[in-house]
A and B are shown apart, each in its own frame.
Chain A
Amino acid sequence: MSAFTDRVDTALADRNLKIAVERTAGTAEAKRTIAVEAFPDFERARDRAAAIKDHVIANLGLYLERFEANAVAAGAKVHWARTADEACEIVIGICKAANARSVARSKSMLGEEIGLPHALEAAGITRIETDLAEHIIQLADERPSHIIWPAMHKTREQVSVLFKAKHRDPHQEETIAAMAESARRHLREGMLAADVGISGANFLVADSGAVCTVTNEGNAELSLVPPRVHIVTAGIEKIVPSMGHAVHMLRMLSRSATGAALSQYTTFYTGPRRPGDRDGPEEMHIVLVDNGRTMMRETGLAKMLRCIRCGACMNHCVVFRQIGGHAYGATYPGPMGAVLTPAFDGLAKNRDLPNACTLNGKCQEVCPVRIPLPTLLRGWREKSWREGLEPTSLRAGLGTWAWFARRPALYRAATASTLRAMRLMGRGGWLSKLPLAGAWTEHRDMPKPAAQSFMAQYKKGRRS
Chain B
Amino acid sequence: MTPTPPRVALFVTCLVDMIRPQIGFAAIRALEAAGCEVVVPDAQTCCGQPALNSGDRDTAADLAKRAIAMLEPFDHVVIPSGSCAATVRVHYPEILEHDAEWGPRAIALAARTFEILAYLDEVRGWKPEGVALDATGTYHDSCSGLRELGIKRQPRRLLAAVEGLSLAPLAGAETCCGFGGTFCVKYPAISNAIVAEKATAIDATGADLLLAGDLGCLMNMAGKLNREGSKVRAFHAVELLAGMGDGPAIGEEA
Contacts and interface: CB of A to CB of B under 8 A. Distances in A.
Interface in A417-464: 418-419, 428-430, 432, 437, 439-440, 442-450, 452-455, 457-459, 462-464
B253 A429 contact: yes
A464 B186 contact: no
A378 B52 contact: yes
Contacts of A448: 251, 253
A381 B24 CA distance: 32
Contact of B53 (A322, A365, A378): A378
A402 B51 contact: yes
A398 B193 contact: no
B143 A464 contact: no
Contacts of A385: 54-57
A398 B50 contact: yes
B45 A445 contact: no
A463 B25 contact: yes
A205 B110 CA distance: 43
A405 interface: yes
A74 to B, nearest CB: 45
Given A360-B180, A362-B176, A382-B55, A440 B223 contact: yes
Interface residues of A, number: 66
Contacts of B28: 463-464
B178 interface: yes
A458 B250 contact: no
A396 to B, nearest CB: 12
Contacts of B185: 437, 439-440
Nearest to B40: A458
Given A381-B54, A402-B56, A443-B195, A365 B42 contact: no
A450 B19 contact: yes
B21 A450 contact: yes
Contacts of A411: 45
Nearest to B185: A439
Contacts of B43: 408
A12 B197 CA distance: 13
A401 interface: yes
A428 to B, nearest CB: 6
A323 interface: yes
B194 A356 contact: no
B204 interface: no
Contact of A428 (B32, B191, B253): B253
Nearest to B221: A444
Chain B interface size, as a band, is: 35 or more
A454 B24 contact: yes
Contacts of B192: 442-444
A318 B178 contact: yes
B20 interface: yes
Contacts of A402: 51, 56, 59, 62-63
A444 B18 contact: no
A19 interface: no
B190 A447 contact: no
A454 B51 contact: no
Contacts of B51: 398, 402
A385 B193 CA distance: 27
A120 interface: no
A364 B194 contact: no
Interface centre among A5, A404, A430, A432 (most CB of B within 10 A): A430
Given A356-B187, A415-B17, A429-B251, A398 B227 contact: no
A445 B63 CA distance: 30
15 contacts: A8-B190, A318-B175, A361-B148, A362-B143, A362-B175, A390-B55, A406-B62, A419-B18, A443-B191, A444-B224, A445-B251, A447-B250, A454-B21, A454-B24, A455-B44
Interface of B: 12, 16-21, 24-26, 28-29, 32, 40, 42-46, 48, 50-57, 59, 62-63, 66, 94, 143-144, 146-148, 174-176, 178-196, 219-220, 222-224, 226-227, 242, 248, 250-253
Given A318-B178, A378-B55, A463-B28, 11 more contacts: A8-B190, A355-B186, A359-B183, A360-B147, A361-B143, A365-B147, A406-B63, A437-B185, A445-B226, A455-B42, A464-B32
